[in-house]
Amino acid sequence: MKKKGNKIVYIYEAIILAYILLYRFIVVNNFISYANYVNICFWLLIGVSLYIIGGFPKDRHYFKKTSIRVVLIVILFYFVISNVLGLFTGFYESTYSHTIVGILHNITPIIIYIVVLELDRYLILRRGTNKIQRYLLGLLFILTNLNITIRDMFSFNSAESIFLTLSLIVFPIISRELLFMYMTNNVSYMPSLIYHVIIDTYTMIIPVLPYLGNYLSSVFLTFLPYTIYIQIKNGIKLKDKYTRFAKKSFIKAISVFLLIIFSILIILVAGIFKYKMVAIASDSMNPVYYRGDAVIYEKVKPFEVLEGEILAFKYDNILVTHRVMKIVEDDKGRRFITKGDNNEIADAYEVRDENVVGVVRYVVKYIAFPTVWFNDYAEEVN
C-alpha cells in the first residue's frame, strides 16, 4: 500500500510541476486577470481528487494544540516587537481598504487559497511519502509561492531588484515553506494554516503598520519560521513537560502583550518619541475623523508642513487639528490658513511657526471616547 501511495505522490508532483510551468508561461502571460482564480481552481481539484482517492486522514497528533500555541505566541511577540520598533522607525498607513466590505473582498480569496493549499500539502504528505518525495514536494510549494509573489511584486531588471527579491521574498518563502513541511508532516496542518493566514492577511486588516525597512523586514520574516521550528522540534522531544510549559508561556505572552500595548499607549499619549496621540473632542474634521476618535501626529518642523496636510497646533493653550488651506509668507514669517473640514469658513485666528506642533498621520477610531466623556463630566461639575 505504501509503494502504491508513493507512486501516486510522484504522479501528483509531476502534475504540480507541469502546472507551475503552465502558470508561469501561459496563464501569467495571457490570462493575468484570471490568474488567482485559476490557481484556486487547480489546487481545489488536486485536493478533491486526493480526498476521493484516499479520504481525509485523521489529524490527532498529541502536540497539535501546543504547536498552535507556539505559533500564536511567536507571532504575537513579532507584532509587539515590530510595533515597539515602529516608535523609533515610524509608521505608515496601509493602502488597503479598511471598510468591512473592503477587508472581506481583499482577504477572502487569499484565505480560500491558503486553506486549499495547506490541506493539499497535508493530504499528499499523509499518503506515506518518503524523504525524496518530501524534498520534491517542498521545492514545488516553494516554486508555487514564488510564482505568485514575484509575479505581483518584483522584477529582475537591476541588481538592486534582484537583491530585494532574494531578501524580501525568496529567503522568507523558503524559510516558511520548510517550516510548513516540517509541521504538517510531523504534527498537523493546523499550525501551518494559522501561521499562513495571519502573516499573509494582517497587513490588509490593520490600518497602521510599523515601518521596519527592507533589512529588518527580511530578518523578521526569515527567522520567524526558524524560531517556531526550534520550539516545536524541542517540544516534541519533551512531550508533556513542554505542553505545560507552552500553556504557561501563552498566559505570560498575553500578559506581556497587554503590558506592552498599554506602555505604547502611554508613550504615545506622553509624546516621548516622534509621535503623540491626542483625543478629538469636536466634529470639526468630519468625515476624516469624529469626536471620540484619537489622532496620532508626527512632530515636525514648521518648514516641513505642506498645504493640504492636517496640522496640529496650539491656540490659546488648546491643541487644534485642522487642515492647512494655504501657507502665506509675510514680514513676520510664515502664516498658516487653517480650516476644519466640517467648518464652512477658515479659522479666524493666526497660526504661526511657533504654534506648530506636528502633522496628523493616523487616526484610531473610537479609542478616545472615555477621555472625551470624562472631560465633559469634569466641565459639568466645574
More confident residue, 153 or 375: 375
Regarding whether 204 and 85 lie in a shared domain, the answer is yes
What confidence category does residue 3 fall into, taking pLDDT thresholds of 50, 70 and 90?
very low
Regarding whether 349 and 200 lie in a shared domain, the answer is no
Regarding whether 106 and 48 lie in a shared domain, the answer is yes
What confidence category does residue 121 fall into, taking pLDDT thresholds of 50, 70 and 90?
very high
Regarding whether 97 and 6 lie in a shared domain, the answer is yes
| Planar angle of CA 341, 344, 345, nearest 5 degrees | 100
Tens digit of each residue's pLDDT (9 = 90 or more) over 47-103: 999 999 888 888 888 888 889 988 998 898 888 888 877 777 677 778 888 788 888
Count the Cβ atoms, other than its own, within 10 Å of residue 167: 17
Contact 40, 116 (CB under 8 A): yes
Regarding whether 184 and 50 lie in a shared domain, the answer is yes
The enclosing domain of 375 has a CATH number of 2.10.109.10
How far apart are the C-alpha atoms of 11 and 6, rounded to whole Å? 9
Regarding whether 371 and 325 lie in a shared domain, the answer is yes
Regarding whether 207 and 84 lie in a shared domain, the answer is yes
Q: What average pLDDT does range 228-236 have in this prediction? A: 86
Question: Domain residues for 58?
Answer: 2-268
Give me the pLDDT at residue 99, please: 84
| Planar angle of CA 249, 255, 259, nearest 5 degrees | 140
Last residue of a domain, one of 252, 268, 284: 268
Count the Cβ atoms, other than its own, within 10 Å of residue 341: 14
Give me the pLDDT at residue 2, please: 45
Q: What average pLDDT does range 271-290 have in this prediction? A: 82
Give me the pLDDT at residue 209, please: 84
Count the Cβ atoms, other than its own, within 10 Å of residue 170: 19
More confident residue, 256 or 210: 210
pTM reported for the whole predicted model? 0.65
Regarding whether 326 and 240 lie in a shared domain, the answer is no
Q: Which of 358, 206, 367, 359 is nearest to 294 (CA)?
A: 367
Regarding whether 172 and 55 lie in a shared domain, the answer is yes
Q: Which of 116, 200, 89 is nearest to 153 (CA)?
A: 200
Last residue of a domain, one of 206, 237, 268: 268
Give me the pLDDT at residue 220, please: 84
Q: Which of 235, 134, 125 is nearest to 178 (CA)?
A: 134
What confidence category does residue 239 fall into, taking pLDDT thresholds of 50, 70 and 90?
low
Cell numbers at residue 24, please? 508561469
Regarding whether 324 and 232 lie in a shared domain, the answer is no
Residue 16 has pLDDT above 90, yes or no: yes
Q: Long-range pairs for 5-9 at CB < 8 Å and ≥24 separation?
A: 5/54, 5/127, 5/128, 5/129, 6/127, 6/128, 6/129, 6/130, 6/133, 8/53, 8/127, 9/124, 9/127, 9/128, 9/129, 9/133, 9/137
Tens digit of each residue's pLDDT (9 = 90 or more) over 330-353: 777 788 999 999 998 999 888 988
Regarding whether 241 and 226 lie in a shared domain, the answer is yes
Cell numbers at residue 259, please? 503590558
What confidence category does residue 166 fall into, taking pLDDT thresholds of 50, 70 and 90?
confident
Torsion angle defined by CA atoms of residues 58, 62, 65 and 69, in that order, rounded to the nearest 10 degrees: -140
Q: How many domains does the chain have?
A: 2
Regarding whether 29 and 99 lie in a shared domain, the answer is yes
Lowest mean pLDDT among 269-283, 312-326, 365-379: 365-379
- C-alpha dihedral sign at 97, 99, 103, 105: negative
49 φ/ψ angles, rounded to the nearest 5 degrees: -65, -40
Residue 251 has pLDDT above 80, yes or no: no
Last residue of a domain, one of 218, 237, 268: 268
How far apart are the C-alpha atoms of 117 and 173, rounded to whole Å? 14
